[in-house]
Chains A and B, each alone.
Chain A
Amino acid sequence: MDPVTLARLQFTITCVYHFFFVPLTLGLSILIALMETMYVRTGNELYKRMTKFWGKLFLINFAMGVVTGIVMEFQFGMNWSEYSRFVGDIFGAPLAIEALLAFFLESTFLGIWIFGWDRLSPRMHAATIWMVAIGSNLSAFWILIANSFMQEPVGYAIENGRAVMTSFFALLSNPHLWVQFPHVISSGLTTAAFFILGISAYHLFYKKRDSEIFLRSFKWGAVAGVIGISLVSLTGHSQAQYMVEAQPMKMAAGEALWQTEDPADLSLVTIIDEDQQRNVFDIRIPRALSLLAFNRFDGEVQGIKDIQQEYEALYGPGDYIPPVAISYWSFRSMVGVGSLMLLLAFYALFLMLTERLPKADRFLRWLPFAIALPIIATSTGWIFTEVARQPWIVFGIMRTEDAASPNVSVGMLLTSLVVYTLLYGVLIVVDVYLLAKYARDEPPINESLGGTVA
């Protein structure tokens, strides 16, 4: 295997793995902060118990996110040194700011939150978890500034063969950022909501105990889930509409649309033959893609082959077509799973509001498995957005094949790949073991909480 492929594989594994944990941190930090705020405001012990129960799970997840995040920061330099040299002037800045503004905030205040129950007033203590929530979500903001530059470079100039920043404000106001950031934040909320729904359902159905705390949690999960997944859908929709304009190739690949169409049809199922650049089998909804793209029943959506020709004229000869099948199926998977979550969240809310929850045995029995759904959707979402940008690492200005470290050999890449894979493999087992253990645990009862080391 060539070094670039290995480096990409490594990035995929470490990035997707890192993002198993990130969305839950983003959303759950906010929900726990709200729970503790409710405790402070009402004095109701139930909210304190909820805070502690979900807090323990939050911490286990948070630790995994932190340690796998370090790999991400180091990896650009280790595996992608030419990339780092070329865009460091722009890309390094949000990364450094992320560490300075967000990582310090979340890690310092999380330390205080964990150990500070007896050392701070309830109000101060609740404030610390808000700092964690703000820090986590801020970190998403800054890293997405960096990623948005890769999707849509703005505020830069090429000088002496490298990209330099000309406008910091342009980076902050990158239109891509403002369709992507709300999408990521709301998927964080959704992930946390399904986590809470799933575990609450487990207790309500399988354990039949302490229904008060889990009924209340279920309600929170249902409301957060409906809000979260609705926002995910809306922001996803605006992102797709924007993509048609800004990155037509990505949309075309996601739809396996080889020829330009007006009106354009939306694919339901398509079997793709990438070598022949055609679809072997195709079921499409007439005009639906135009509708999604432009909110009307016509409108031109460009096809892969036409964009390829356009790009050849623009960027010179070359292959500008991303891996179509991977793009198509990851996009399909994200949207499909997202739609399923939309149904589930609304159904959960419906059960709550009509007070049918206690009798909804079948729903509760299966809901714990839905914890996996947001993870599938966010993973495939990232795979789609990164793979369908290929062959570019920074759209229009740098190709992935030119970005890897020239001095890092296949042997070194293989070594690190094997090491990460083994280490991550072991860690996921331990992580799932602990999450399952604490998710099944009886929630702490008032002051006899969790307790000492012994």
Chain B
Amino acid sequence: MDLNTVWFILIAVLFTGYFFLEGFDYGVGILLPFLGKDEEERGRIIATIGPHWDANEVWLITAGGAMFAAFPSWYATMFSGFYLALLLLLVALITRGIAIEFRNKDIRPKWRSTWDWLIFGGSLVPPLLWGIAMANLLLGTPIDADMTYIGGFWTLLNPYALVSGLAFLAIFTLHGAAFLSLKLDEPILDRAFTAARRIWPAALVVGFFAFGVGYFVTDMYERLGVSPGLVPISAGAAMLAAGWFIRKKQGGWAFVMSGICIAFSSITFFVGLFPRLMVSSLNPEWSLTIYNASSSPYTLKVMTIVAAIFVPLVLLYQGWSYYVFRGRVTRDSKLEY
């Protein structure tokens, strides 16, 4: 396997990690106004992701950095091309981060409810945008011979992308509900299960629909054939299993299943994309690939060594942070030091 492929895989892993981890903390943010009946309950809901959300977001920052380092032209074309979408994403991420950190810093009800709604909005927008962005990478966008994106903002809002955005949104919300069912106690726990039960059919339908549309409008069918293979089928099966575990009120398993569904869907997407990075709708020759958009072999080698040492280390201590805060957040938990 050449280093270009290694880096494609590593970036796929980083995005998958981001979708898995921030998937649930976006879901928590989206569910916040609906599951928390009063200010104290909403505080508890936020506390489930309080110690983790920022480190989860670093998966995205690292994915972006890795794109820049390994495939500079991918980074340059996508970030300048998807300009307004990314601006919107940044506004959402800034607002959300500040809202989570500042909400508890003042006790006035108005202060807190304002930030809570901003957490909601800031959590709602990124899943939609990432669904839209990912779908467009695969579907193809107008990229010219100089690797420059020449479409506009509206080019991105095609039906396939919108459906994918909704699919991300629904599945992340489900994932968040499953996470909350693990981390809270009654009465919010019960509401989390109810929410999960209600979201599940929507996530199922939109998820399968997005996949099905993708099968026809992109070249997924040509690449995967009639039977899409083990990975996407497992993603679908995990989604079905998630529904079953939610009904059984087994939060842990439901969370594992929604997580598998996200991870395997993400892998499916990257398998479909490989070895391309961004498909050109104008001319297949102009698509960005892991070869024409990559850094030099030397840079890839250096970065591979760095990643081989530090990625396992990061996984270790981030895993430890979840271990430290294992268990449910209850009324008696200290939510802020």
Contacts and interface: CB of A to CB of B under 8 A. Distances in A.
Interface of A: 52, 55, 59-60, 63-64, 66-68, 70-71, 73-74, 76-79, 81-82, 84-85, 87-93, 95-101, 103-105, 107-112, 114-120, 159, 164-166, 168, 405-408, 412, 415-416, 419, 423, 427, 430, 434, 437-438, 449-454
Task: List 7 tightest A-B contacts by C-beta distance, closest first.
Answer: A88-B72, A77-B79, A453-B43, A92-B68, A92-B69, A96-B65, A111-B51
Contacts of B90: 70-71, 74
B306 interface: yes
Contacts of B298: 164-166, 168
A385 B284 CA distance: 44
B68 A77 contact: yes
Contacts of A450: 336-337
Which of A55, A415, A452 has most chain B Cβ within 10 Å?
A: A452
Interface of B: 39-40, 43-44, 47, 50-55, 57-58, 61-62, 64-70, 72-73, 75-81, 83-84, 86-87, 90-91, 93-95, 97-98, 101-102, 104-107, 147-150, 295-296, 298-299, 302-303, 306-307, 310-311, 314, 317-318, 321, 324-325, 334-337
Contacts of A77: 64, 68, 75-76, 78-80
Given A95-B68, A112-B324, A450-B337, A100 B302 contact: no
Given A88-B73, A118-B334, A96 B68 contact: yes
Contacts of A449: 337
Contact of A70 (B61, B76, B101, B104): B61
A407 B149 contact: yes
A28 to B, nearest CB: 16
B39, B67, B311: most-surrounded residue (chain A CB, <10 A): B67
Contacts, number: 243
B314 A100 contact: yes
Given A423-B94, A437-B106, A96 B336 contact: no
B93 A70 contact: yes
B324 A438 contact: no
Contact of A111 (B43, B54, B149, B336): B54
Given A96-B69, A407-B81, A89 B299 contact: yes
A88 B68 contact: yes
A429 to B, nearest CB: 12
A245 to B, nearest CB: 29
A311 B102 CA distance: 51
Nearest to A69: B61
A159 B296 contact: yes
Contact of A454 (B40, B52, B310, B324): B40
Contacts of A165: 295-296, 298-299, 302
Q: Is the interface of A mostly helix, strand, loop or mixed?
A: helix
A98 B105 CA distance: 29
Contacts of A78: 79-80, 83, 86-87
B295 A164 contact: yes
B149 A108 contact: no
Nearest to A405: B80
Q: Max chain B CB contacts within 10 Å: which of A100, A114, A117, A450? A: A100
24 contacts: A60-B102, A67-B93, A77-B76, A88-B72, A88-B73, A96-B65, A97-B69, A98-B65, A99-B62, A99-B65, A103-B61, A104-B314, A107-B55, A107-B58, A111-B51, A111-B53, A114-B51, A115-B51, A437-B105, A450-B337, A451-B334, A452-B336, A453-B39, A453-B336
A82 B334 CA distance: 49
A78 B85 CA distance: 11
A14 to B, nearest CB: 10
Contacts of B50: 111, 114-115
Contacts of B77: 81
Contact of A100 (B47, B62, B72, B94): B62
A451 B240 CA distance: 42
B130 to A, nearest CB: 14
A99 B321 contact: no
A188 B61 CA distance: 23
